[in-house]
Each structure stands twice: as C-alpha cells, then as structure tokens.
Amino acid sequence: MKISVTDPSMIEAWLERNLMRVQKPGRYVGGELNQVVKDWASIPIKVALAFPDVYEIGVPNLALTILYETINQRPDALAERVYLPWVDMEALMRDGGIPLYGLETKHPLNQFNILGITLPYETLYTNVLNLLDLAGIPLFSNERDETHPLIIAGGHATFNPEPMAPFIDAFVIGEGEDVIHEILDTFRDWKAQSVSRDDLLHALLNIPGVYIPRFYRPHYHPDGTLRLMERLTEAAPPVIHKRILGRLPPPPTRPIVPSIDVVHNRIAIEIMRGCTRGCRFCHAGMVTRPVRERSVEEILSAIQEALKNTGYEEVALLSLSSSDYSQITHLVERVSHEATRQHLVISLPSLRIETVSVELMERLKGKRQSSSFTLAPEAATDRMRAVINKPIETGQLLETARAIFQHGWSKIKLYFMIGHPTETIEDVRAIAEVSRQVLAEGRRLIGHRASLHLGVSTFVPKPHTPFQWLPCDTPEQIQNKQRALLDALRGSGIKINWTDPRETLLEAWLSRGDRRLAEVIYNAWTLGAKFDAWHDHFDYEKWMTAFQMANLDPAFYTHRQRSLDEVFPWDHISPGVRKAYLQQEYLNSLQGILRLDCRRQCYACGILPTYKELRRKYPGPHWKCPEIPVHARA
C-alpha cells in the first residue's frame, strides 16, 4: 500500500481523529502497564515484534512476551509491539495512507531495523502478507533492500518454513532466547561496517538455528515431489538444527498488562518445556523435546514477582503435560497456599486422565474456581488409542469423571479428535458411547446439574511427526464422521463443537506445503484472504481460486499417501528428532505398538546425541531424558 504519513506525531494526530470510528479503539494505542518506551533517537537497534492477528490474541503470546523483555534489557536495542488492525481500522488506515506502527512510540514499521514475526500456527500466513503491505514493506524478500527492515520469523509453524520462504529473510528454528542476542550482535557488527543486505544475510548464515531460504533452491520430480534442496552457497548449512536452551532462564515477570480485555488475562509461567509422552499426532510433543523443568522455587518466586508487577488475579502454570512435572504435588501444595491467601485463580491445563489430577485441582480451588474440568482423551477405542500412542482406558476415564463430579465440578469438557489414521466409523461412534457413559456417571452422582461438552477437532498430519507420511481425511470423510457422531449423540443432552472441514483443509495444505505454496498464499491474499483463522473470515473459494491460478492441486498436499523414501520439503530443518525414528513410530502405530513415557526408557528419537554437548555444558536434574551412554546410533 502507498504510505502518505511517516511522522509519529502525525500518526498520533490521525489516531485521535479516527479511533472513535472503530470498534475497540483500545487495541491501537499502547500505553499499558509495563510497556517499555525507549529513546528512539539514541538506541541503535530497533526491533518490532509482531503477532499477525488482532491485539487481544497477540498480547498474551508468551514467545513475544519473552523476546520483548529480553531485547529491552539490552542497552543497545529497543523492542516495540505490533498487531494487525481489525478490518474496520485497516480500511481507515489504507484510506488515510497510515502505515502500521509500533505501539510504544508510533514509529512506522518500515523505520525499524528488524521485524520479528511469530508464527505459532499456519492460518496466520495471509495475515503476514497483509502486515507487510500495511507497513509499506515489499512482500518478497528479494524485492527488499538496505532501506527495509530485516524480516525474521519463528514459532512452531516455522518447523516447515517453506510455504513462507519467499516472504521471510531469515527463520529462527527453535527456542529464541539465546539466538536473538546472536542476531542482534550480528546486526550491530554488520551495520558498523557494511550497508549491503547481502552481507547481512551471509553473516546471519553463521548463526546455528538460523535458516535463510534464499540460499536454498528446491528442485522437484515430474510428479511434484521434492527431488533435492540445493544449497546455493557452501556457507549454507545442509541441515538447520533447532536451537534449544540448556537450562530454562527465569520466566518473564513483567508482562504487559493490557487495559482492555484479551483472550488470556493472567500470568503465564512455563513449568517445563518438552514432553515425553510421544503422542504420535502431536507436533508440539515432537518439536519441543527434550523435557527441561524449572524448579519449584524458581516458579514460586516468579509468581510472586509477577503478581507484584501486574496485580493479576489468575496464574496459569503451563506445559504440554502438567502431570509429568516431577514435583507436581509439591508445586501444587505451595501454589494453593498462595491462591487461598490472595484470591487467585490457578489454572493447570494438560492434566492426565487419572484421579490424581482431580486431587491436584481440588487443592488449587482456593476461594474461586472454574466450574468446568477439561480432559483430552483424543480417542475412544483401545485400538485407536494404541495407534496414536495415547493409552487411556475407558474405565480410568470414567473413574476420573466420577472423582470430578464428586469433588464439586458440574461440567466436564472432553476433547477428542476424528480423522486419526486407520479410523473407522465405529471408532467415531465410540466417542459418543464413551461420552454418554461419562455423563451417566455425572447424572448418577449429582443429577441434572451434570453436563458434558465435547470438543471434536479434526486430525491434521503435521511435519516432523510419525504421521507426516499420511493423507488427511477428505471433507466428505470428515462430514460423514461428524454426522455419524451427531446421530450417535442425539438425545443425549451432550453439547458438541467441531471444526469446519474446509478450515481443516487449509491447515492441512499449509502444514505440509512446499515452497510452491507461497504462490498460492500470495494469490489468496491478493484475492482478499486474511484472518483465515477466524471462522467468519475464512473464504474457501478464494483459496480454491488461488490454487488454480498457481496450477497446483490442493489434494497433492492433503490427501496423498507419501512413500517412505520421499524427500520432504522440511527435511533440511531438524527438530533433533530423526526421520528414521519418526518412521519407526509410524510403523509401530500401524501395528498398535505402544511407546510409553520415554523418561523411563529411551527410544532413541535423536535428541540425546544432538544435544549432548549442551547437556554437558548445563548438567543437572532439570533434564528429564534418561542418562544413557550415547552410542553410534545417531
């Protein structure tokens, strides 16, 4: 878009004239508690951190909270925040030639040195293009020069960076806390001696974990599968290994406290990273390995500090599997004491389905409590549970449900997925059967106050997981399964939510896409696609047209069984987990072989050899992989 205003004071003046014309103007002004405003003129490195969706969704994002605090602690750098304007505000900004700006000082985005974008999920991709356009920054990396900010992206979706490769200058694979400093140092040194953007990108090649797509060129077989990812310079690493921290640093304790309501109003403390359960559908479980814990003392002191700095009334203790935190009982005991004393609500998501979880939550109730209890069995038959490697017996689920109703909760939320590999209609109907049994327990114990909500999402095969070779269900299959489930639930009084099959498809295309998909994303954006993650905004027809324009078949990406020797577009990006391990796990799933908690027995996923140096450098009980001698298995 054409920018006609570049001065922060003019942007401020425009805002005052226009904010009352839009919904929720509080999204666009900044000025919240704990915002950091640094002197624009005297700070050499200016970073804008972007969440490519609206303010309310972006502010609670933990990755950006960490990076904001980390960067602003450096005397030579400043970080400001940017979110996407909602459609009403966007229209006014485009009309007035007003560029996207940093909330802290209202400087236009294109006056920053670096723009860091977080991509936790794929349905944000068209928003990234819109964000760049609203900033007056050329969309394609090769159209940008020294006068434009360096565009960096990270986050879980970037473990397959290829669909967004042409738009991003550099991807950061893995955890960003350390690597951000290396990037800023490299930027500072480059700025001191060169103006060539090419020099900067070459310098960034030296940082482990940084992927610069322009130094790689994909070649395809006639059937459309990848033949080879060619390196265009010797300096480009053949494989980019994700970065991890050898020890988790203290969590951020001075987060922005938004003055308007956002999706999560709370202090978020990660109690650990990684997961040892090995659910085969789970992207996060594969890419965030290995497990590293924070100590109870560290967590408690962070909570105290953050309460003092924010005044929040809710604390969320986050991890992929809270029950597996080694000191969970001790932690809950200590935290619950504070909860009662200070009227806090403590949330502890991702608990395992066992009565111990109910006892833990019972202690955390304090004076206030949520009325519902959430469990995620994911599948309803033993066969299906063995396929996905999440073995929970129905008896155990019912026992847990009984404990929940007996301890005063009246509502249970159950999360299931349909579309698992090899799933039959009987597996789907079993979801209804199990759900009816759960509700029956509640009715028996507390009568008609008992209620059950089902969240039924559709499985999408993700890169770097054991199911990366598998096709995704077609919309017809998904609809049939959803209908079967609805029929089986009729008259049960159970409420159910599910995902629109077409939205599932979008996620499926983008998850396992190659670099050619960038053209589809670009076409979709030019056709007006944006806010694809919003049900009311997602427009399937635009995406279909975008595929046609690019001469690509969407089914190639979603409904194709990939052969075991196929080269994937993300094979040169390594989460530390070996492809051979993923393949073994895929084959195990077909035979229903379970792989239980890998803290007890190592299944050689590849993490140990990849990070053995790091572990030696930061030894301690916070690592939860077993201590075993590393053989030549890597």
Partner 1 sequence: MVQRFRIHYAKTQPLRYVSSLDLHKVWERYLRRAGLPLAYSHGFTPQPRLQQAHPLPLGYLGANEIIDVWLEAETDLSAEEVQARLQATPQPGIEILSVTEIAPEAPALTSQISSAEYEVWFLDPLSPDELASRVTQLLNTPSIQRERRGKAYNLRPLIEFIEILTDTTPGRLGLRMRLAAREGATGRPEEVVAALGYDPFAVRIIRTRLNGATT
What are the residues binding partner 1 (CB under 8 A)?
Answer: 13, 16-21, 25-26, 28-29, 31-33, 35, 257, 259-261, 265, 307-313, 343, 367-368
Q: How far is the CB of 445 from partner 1 (least distance, A)?
A: 19
Nearer to partner 1, 21 or 633 (CB): 21
Q: How far is the CB of 258 from partner 1 (least distance, A)?
A: 9
Closest among 454, 410, 399 to 432, alpha carbons compared: 454
Q: How far is the CB of 597 from partner 1 (least distance, A)?
A: 37
For residues 205 and 196, what is the distance between their CA atoms, to the nearest angstrom?
15
CA 265 to chain centre: 18
Closest among 140, 147, 148, 205 to 168, alpha carbons compared: 140
Q: How far is the CB of 526 from partner 1 (least distance, A)?
A: 32
Strand 372-378 and strand 345-347: the pairing is: unpaired
Nearer to partner 1, 102 or 136 (CB): 102
Nearer to partner 1, 14 or 618 (CB): 14
For residues 267 and 262, what is the distance between their CA atoms, to the nearest angstrom?
13
Nearer to partner 1, 8 or 44 (CB): 8
Residue 245's CB is within 10 A of a number of other CB atoms, namely 16
Nearer to partner 1, 20 or 632 (CB): 20
User: What pairs with residue 416 in β-bridges?
Assistant: 378, 456
Nearer to partner 1, 254 or 502 (CB): 254
Give the DSSP H or E segment for 231: strand 226-231
Q: How far is the CB of 261 from partner 1 (least distance, A)?
A: 6
Alpha helical stretches, state H, 205-275: none
Give the pair of three-digit tokens for residue 492. 């049960």
Q: How far is the CB of 25 from partner 1 (least distance, A)?
A: 4
Instruction: Render 369-401 in DSSP notation, one character per residue.
Output: --SEEEEEEE-SSHHHHHHHT----HHHHHHHH
For residues 423 and 429, what is the distance between their CA atoms, to the nearest angstrom?
11
Q: What's the one-letter identity of residue 180?
A: I
Asked whether the beta carbons of 458 and 499 are under 8 A apart, the reply is yes
Nearer to partner 1, 364 or 518 (CB): 364
For residues 478 and 469, what is the distance between their CA atoms, to the nearest angstrom?
19
Nearer to partner 1, 8 or 25 (CB): 25
Q: How far is the CB of 308 from partner 1 (least distance, A)?
A: 7
Nearer to partner 1, 33 or 195 (CB): 33
3-state SS, residue 597 = coil
For residues 114 and 79, what is the distance between their CA atoms, to the nearest angstrom?
9
Q: How far is the CB of 312 from partner 1 (least distance, A)?
A: 6
Q: How far is the CB of 31 from partner 1 (least distance, A)?
A: 3
The secondary structure of residue 141, as a DSSP letter, is G
Helix then strand then coil, in percent of the chain rounded to 5, is: 40, 15, 45
